[in-house]
Amino acid sequence: MNVAVHTVGGLKAEPGEPEVAGFVDNVPAVYAVSERSDGFVWRLDRMTNPDHQAAYEAYVGDADLAVTLSVWESVEKLNHYVFKTLHGRFYNRKEEWFHPAEAAMFVLWTLPEGHEPTLVEAGARLAHLRAHGPSDHAFDWSYTSGTR
């Protein structure tokens, strides 16, 4: 079984504005680290995949959101990427670029190997986590043994 992770964050400004440039300008580098990380399986790549771009636009609408969806071999390997690589440096600065979260901003769930989740599926898992709290269906770091 693999683990999927979906994140959603409300940017403080539109991409291209100086307030969020430190984040937006570094997304390609952080993605490159993810793709080289042990345990990485797949990610939604809207920059090079037109189908992913269309799904992203339908999901986000006109909101200033940063959205990710990726698949990893395990929670432990995802945890290492999130907190122990370049990603961690940006994660620790999220308050600079994102509005404070009023609800869960990410969700994890297990899925069979070979399954590429959709943003619709990811949104449903995030909504479930927000409505019901962590469970086997949709969880966060507190529900796993792979926490920092």
Q: What is the pLDDT of residues 11-36, one digit of tens each?
A: 999 889 999 999 999 999 999 999 99
The yes/no answer on whether domain 2-143 falls in CATH 3.30.70.100 is: yes
Residue 101 φ/ψ region, left for φ over 0, alpha for ψ in the -120 to 50 degree band, beta for the rest: beta
Name which of 6, 3, 2 is nearest 105 in CA terms.
6
Name which of 105, 96, 88 is nearest 23 in CA terms.
96
- For residue 45, the model assigns a pLDDT of 87
Q: Helix, strand or coil for residue 87?
A: helix
Q: What is the pLDDT of residues 71-127, one digit of tens each?
A: 999 999 999 999 999 999 999 999 999 999 999 999 999 999 899 999 999 999 999
Kindly state the tokens that stand for 2: 């693999």
pTM of the entire predicted model: 0.91
Q: Using pLDDT thresholds of 50, 70 and 90, give the confidence band for residue 61.
A: confident
State how far the Cα of 107 lies from the Cα of 141, in Å rounded to an integer: 9
